[in-house]
Structure 1
Amino acid sequence: MANTNLDDHMYDEAVENLQKSVEADDKFVEAHAVLGDVLRQMRRYKESIDQFHKVIVLNPEFNRAVYLKVGELEVNSAQYELAQHHLEKYLTYPNITTQNTYYAQKLIADCKFSIQAIAHPVAFKPINLGPEINTPADEYLPVATADEGTLIFTRKINNNEDFYKSSKLNSKWQTATYLSDLINTPQYNEGAESISQDGKYLFFTGCNRPDGLGRCDIYIAQKKGDDWGKPVDLSPPVNTTGWESQPSISADGKTLYFVSNRKGGYGGYDIWKSTLGDKGWGEPENLGPNINTIYDEQSPFIHPDDSTFYFCSNGWPGLGGKDLFVSRLSKDGKWQKPENLGYPINSSGDENGLTLTANGSYAFFSSNNLNGFGGYDIYTFELPPNLRPNLVTYVKGTVNDAKTKAPLEAAVEIIDLQKNQPVFQDYSDADEGDFLATLTAGKNYGLNISKSGYLFYSANFSLVGHEPKTAFNIAVLLDPIEIGNKVVLNNIFFDTNKFDLKPESVAELQQLLSFLTLNPTLHIEISGHTDNVGNDQLNQTLSQNRAKSVYQYLIDNKIDAGRLVFKGYGKTQPIAVNDTDEGRQKNRRTEFKIIAK
């Protein structure tokens, strides 16, 4: 009778008949085995384990498959010692398929890891974000802007996923509101999002949309004032007819990490990345075998330090189900083998969707088993120091017209002076004139800001010793291109008492080249200046030679010499007092002045 029930997929009836059979004959080993299988299919795991245990007691050699089945269930029920014993017993049998051998060995690795992890727990004190964020519905996949001023997350109501947002006021999250009618839809699901550090761009997953290529695609939307613009499908090569989801955008906006089941991966779901170039998003690359396994890897999160990567996996050794992991970028530019975040951050259930604050101290995640407000709730917890990323901070700036004080949309470039490489390239907001960049703490940076019709702005700043938890603020006033206006070239560097251009000067020189190329009628004077320390004649000569070095660089790079003059002023034109180190540093400068239009 039970077999007939199973053929007809009548599982409740099958369980009832099988239970009658074992009640009538408790040594009916075949009935216990089938009952264990049916209960397993019905996800009644504890009862299933009990039945398989009875099979093993009644006849240890009844069926070797019982040991693999019960071992898997015991791993997912956190019975690791028992699971390891049963799985090792399974591997003693001959002629086991390669696939099953690999799977049993994988589960044994889970057991060994879990036993050690539970013996050495990590600090974990999750805090519910409260009724302003969480409701009896499901809330999950939270992401925050770099200044932690905005939180965007997914809420699921009546099986429909939409985005909600909350702003932080006086260190408290405000009641979440519907994100936007231009992004959310009543008939499709929106979820698994990533927000740019400045909160201006939203990458998200949209499923079954009419303009999509596959079942789920990745879209991008741009902030427009208080609302959002219409989302745009990222198209090939990022999106395919397969499944693309769970985007995570790097701090510089140039690398997009995402999950796909496209061909060429290692398993079911793999993590890939695409790099933004002059012609758009490039052909995606698989993150490779140090991240992806033959099983599933999902929920990527690239921290703003651009070298610490969090994700979930059921392939690497863990406590059962999907666990959270961290991988770090090595000096050769490759991701290292991941580290499990440990117990009790991870459990025998599924953990996924971890994101971090920019300062790396706190993480956000969702859970449905911590006695919250109902369903999945969003929590935060302090990340143990050894699991944190590199320290980063964020720079907030504004760009305005020097005369009218009106906000300006201008190109903003921030350069790592040690590597002489751009680490941030974007535009200030057209309405507010603001920008936000997340940068690694403890370094020196150059800043260039340019806009057509204006002199470009040059500065350098140091985040050495800056408190990462607070913003570094910059206010920039751009001068229009007018005769007599000057620009201090703050990122032109020379060694003491020398006039050879240092390699760190190249980015600034290229900026000056671009400016002169875009404004072909301008004539400029390049000037060198010193402080008042030392011999006046030597200072005069040094300033003249430094100005000439910049002049020669421009000529060597195809700028007409007829547009350029150079002059050294020595100590005669100070812009600050010479009785402090800071003042003397400001006076030692190279600048240019518009002398004809």
Structure 2
Amino acid sequence: MKVALALLLSLFLSVAAIAQQKLYSTNNKEALKYISAANQNIDDHMYDEAIQNLNKSLEEDSKFIDARALLGDLYRMKRLYKQAIEQYTKTIALNPEFNRGIYLKLGEVEINEAKYTESKQHLEKYLTYPGAAPDSYAYAQKLLADAKFSIQAVQHPVPFKPINVGAEINTAYDEYLPVATADESVLIFTRKINDNEDFYKSDKVDGKWSKATYLSNQINTDKYNEGAQSISQDGKYLFFTGCNRPDGLGRCDIYIAQKRGDDWAKPIDLSPPVNTPGWESQPSINYDGRTLYFVSNRKGGYGGYDIWKSTLTDKGWGEPENLGPNINTAYNEQSPFIHPDDSTLYFSSNGWPGLGSKDLFVSRMGKDGKWQKPENLGYPINSNGDEGGLSLTANGDYAFFSSDNLNGFGGYDIYTFELPVNIRPHRVTYVKGHVKDAKTQEPLEAAVEIIDLQSNTPVYQDYSGEEHGDFLATLTSGKNYGLNISKSGYLFYSENFSLRNYKGTKPFDIIALLSPIEVGSKVILKNIFFDTNKFDLQAESKAELSKMIDFLQMNKTVRVEVSGHTDNVGQHANNQTLSENRAKSVYQYLINHGIAAARLVYKGYGETQPIAPNTTDDDKARNRRTEFMIIGK
């Protein structure tokens, strides 16, 4: 907020300087004595004493316009807006042309008190004066845009029914900045006790939040503050802000910690180019863990605090990129939250038209890959106070936020509310899985990859949990995804999630059984696709075919049979021929990509080996499949 702060100080100091240099509007010696004392108090930064002396001066002469205007400036500086409005209004009543700057300052404090109509009138009055300094003129235009927007917003409120999340999480202390995992099983938030900020967590059990507990001694400290966190969708990685830590580069840095079993590993400073000797904070990690949004006051921005992003490469985090003028302004943009749909960004700003101080906004990524101009979330979600720290559930229906003015348990409490439909993100669901040995049922740590089959790009790459074999990844509607799970010594696992016409809310919950590499073990290749009654491989089959090639190259002695199967629709002979031709297409693709023909055979089984009754469309689709079976080691 460099611009606004500079203007505030300059406007305040200009009046104080004039008061010291000009001939005053009173001859009352006592009134002059008290304003002189007040000016000395201001020079000494003793503002409460200055207020006392100015009030005494006005007791001696209630029409002493210089003292009244200066008293308004002091109240404004101390954010006592009602008192400032009173003094500025009385100043104008004494002399409407005393100082044109009063109209700008009065318009500003009236916005902070939600007096938008009055603010509009006074700002328009200020803008009628010629010769205003460019910065002051621009600031007045910005405030006028706020006032005009606010008048309309208050007349057209949006649905907003905040619900306190309860005494298991909220206390008499401050609780704020809540973030949840994609399955909403864990909520992590900041609690402030005796000016020390630490992380706490609550688990959702049978639909209710459990008693919040201290997150971890590995992350929390007694000496430093930890806050402004972001949790990966699967709950395995925590990005957070640490300030004044001995291993940091600047006043505040971004750190990452990884979940290990039931505890967390020691946090690691992200280092340059993300962290600098400046100020980096408020991270938000995207759905696949490869793009980090954060706030910084580094050089190259548009204002005081800007939102930046850094993308993970093979060499580490890349050079941060400013999100540009469709997000950042000459003022402050903070508290970014990138939704798991990867195309909807929520943040707070005092630069875009709003209802006063910081408001919450949403921006959506356009088809050109650029962020569009943001939309204010509306009144009463936003108010004349500070709004910030919004996060959403993965399905996009509900938001979490914190507030200290909703009659909670004390201080800032955490609340949730149903998000109006027009400001929700794209529909997102998630797949939650456990990887096990098919024979022993023991959990396995394995490589998990989910691919957008149309673009053939990974959207999730990680390992299932070492202890429980678990993983979790979010999926955005409108796309076709392939899941592959692999581990040395095992056949890979294949699954498909088609969300092209997905309108549901139920997530996918699977148990992925990996079969040891032995003769007779087989995999149903769920991401091999053909057009109806055709055997040409579709482009979306490429990812699965690449996985087959990788497997055969890693296991060079293995021999396999590629088999094709159909449902019972149509003539038996036609189905037999179709299944054989489809198996041959896969066989030929593997040979064309370097797999020796001696290691491969193909065979069509037609409709003779169904894995489900041919009684429904879904079961028939299951029977139309391509398989991959070990026939030699």
TM-score of Structure 1 vs Structure 2, range by shorter chain: over 0.9
Q: Which residue of structure 2 aligns with residue 263 of structure 1?
A: 299
Any residues of structure 2 matched to 1:162-311 within 5 Å, and which? 162-311=198-347
Matches of 2:127 and 2:353 in 1, distance apart? 18
Matched to 2:394, the amino acid is A
Name structure 2 gaps, 5 residues minimum: 1-36
Please say if 1:447 is aligned against 2:483: yes
Q: Are residues 579 and 469 of structure 1, via their aligned partners in 2, closer, same or farther at CA, if it must alter by over 3 Å?
A: closer
Q: Which residue of structure 2 aligns with residue 10 of structure 1?
A: 46
Matches of 2:511 and 2:564 in 1, distance apart? 26
Deviates more, 1:357-366 or 1:571-580: 571-580
TM-score (norm 2): 0.91
* SS of structure 2 residue aligned to 1:481: coil
Please say if 1:348 is aligned against 2:374: no
* SS of structure 2 residue aligned to 1:20: helix
Identity of aligned residues (%): 74
Q: Which residue of structure 2 aligns with residue 565 of structure 1?
A: 601
1:558 is displaced (CA, Å) by 2.1
Q: Which residue of structure 2 aligns with residue 483 of structure 1?
A: 519
1:578 is displaced (CA, Å) by 4.2
Please say if 1:133 is aligned against 2:169: yes
Matches of 2:250 and 2:568 in 1, distance apart? 69
Of the candidates 168, 185, 200, which is equivalent to residue 149 of structure 1? 185
- Alignment size in residue pairs: 597
Deviates more, 1:329-338 or 1:564-573: 564-573
Name structure 1 gaps, 5 residues minimum: none
Please say if 1:30 is aligned against 2:66: yes
Any residues of structure 2 matched to 1:453-472 within 5 Å, and which? 453-463=489-499, 468-472=504-508
Deviates more, 1:435-444 or 1:46-55: 435-444
Please say if 1:544 is aligned against 2:580: yes
Matched to 1:485, the amino acid is S
Matched to 1:29, the amino acid is I
1:22 is displaced (CA, Å) by 1.7
CA RMSD, aligned part only?
Answer: 1.8
Matches of 1:75 and 1:528 in 2, distance apart? 70
Of the candidates 280, 303, 313, which is equivalent to residue 349 of structure 2? 313
Deviates more, 1:109-118 or 1:234-243: 234-243
Please say if 1:77 is aligned against 2:117: no
Deviates more, 1:575-584 or 1:255-264: 575-584
Matches of 1:425 and 1:593 in 2, distance apart? 26
Matches of 2:82 and 2:41 in 1, distance apart? 22
Matches of 1:493 and 1:183 in 2, distance apart? 47
Matches of 1:443 and 1:159 in 2, distance apart? 46
Q: Do 1:392 and 1:468's aligned partners in 2 also have CA atoms closer than 8 Å?
A: no
Deviates more, 1:156-165 or 1:35-44: 35-44
* SS of structure 1 residue aligned to 2:348: strand
Q: Do 1:441 and 1:468's aligned partners in 2 also have CA atoms closer than 8 Å?
A: no
Of the candidates 7, 22, 46, which is equivalent to residue 82 of structure 2? 46
Q: Are residues 173 and 318 of structure 1, via their aligned partners in 2, closer, same or farther at CA, if it must alter by over 3 Å?
A: same
Q: Which residue of structure 2 aligns with residue 428 of structure 1?
A: 464
Matches of 1:65 and 1:13 in 2, distance apart? 24
Matches of 1:83 and 1:581 in 2, distance apart? 64
1:487 is displaced (CA, Å) by 1.6
Matched to 1:445, the amino acid is Y
What do the CA deviations read for 1:357-398 (whole angstroms, capped 9, x no partner)? 112121111111122222111111111111211221222111
Matches of 1:531 and 1:279 in 2, distance apart? 48
Matches of 2:393 and 2:166 in 1, distance apart? 18
Matches of 1:168 and 1:249 in 2, distance apart? 22
Q: Are residues 582 and 70 of structure 1, via their aligned partners in 2, closer, same or farther at CA, if it must alter by over 3 Å?
A: closer
Matched to 1:155, the amino acid is R
Q: Are residues 17 and 578 of structure 1, via their aligned partners in 2, closer, same or farther at CA, if it must alter by over 3 Å?
A: closer
1:78 is displaced (CA, Å) by 0.9
1:466 is displaced (CA, Å) by 6.7
1:9 is displaced (CA, Å) by 2.4
Of the candidates 395, 409, 413, which is equivalent to residue 449 of structure 2? 413
Deviates more, 1:396-405 or 1:584-593: 584-593
1:124 is displaced (CA, Å) by 1.3
Q: Do 1:542 and 1:570's aligned partners in 2 also have CA atoms closer than 8 Å?
A: yes
Please say if 1:594 is aligned against 2:607: no
Q: Which residue of structure 1 aligns with residue 440 of structure 2?
A: 404
Q: Are residues 11 and 531 of structure 1, via their aligned partners in 2, closer, same or farther at CA, if it must alter by over 3 Å?
A: closer
Matches of 2:374 and 2:499 in 1, distance apart? 29
Please say if 1:102 is aligned against 2:138: yes
1:422 is displaced (CA, Å) by 3.0
Q: Do 2:81 and 2:112's aligned partners in 1 also have CA atoms closer than 8 Å?
A: no
1:24 is displaced (CA, Å) by 1.8
What do the CA deviations read for 1:132-169 (whole angstroms, capped 9, x no partner)? 11112111101111121111100111111000111122
Please say if 1:375 is aligned against 2:402: no
What do the CA deviations read for 1:486-521 (whole angstroms, capped 9, x no partner)? 222121111122111111111111111111122222
Matches of 2:605 and 2:162 in 1, distance apart? 62
Matches of 1:468 and 1:190 in 2, distance apart? 37
Q: Are residues 488 and 170 of structure 1, via their aligned partners in 2, closer, same or farther at CA, if it must alter by over 3 Å?
A: closer
Matched to 1:246, the amino acid is Q
Matches of 1:543 and 1:391 in 2, distance apart? 36
Q: Are residues 6 and 532 of structure 1, via their aligned partners in 2, closer, same or farther at CA, if it must alter by over 3 Å?
A: closer
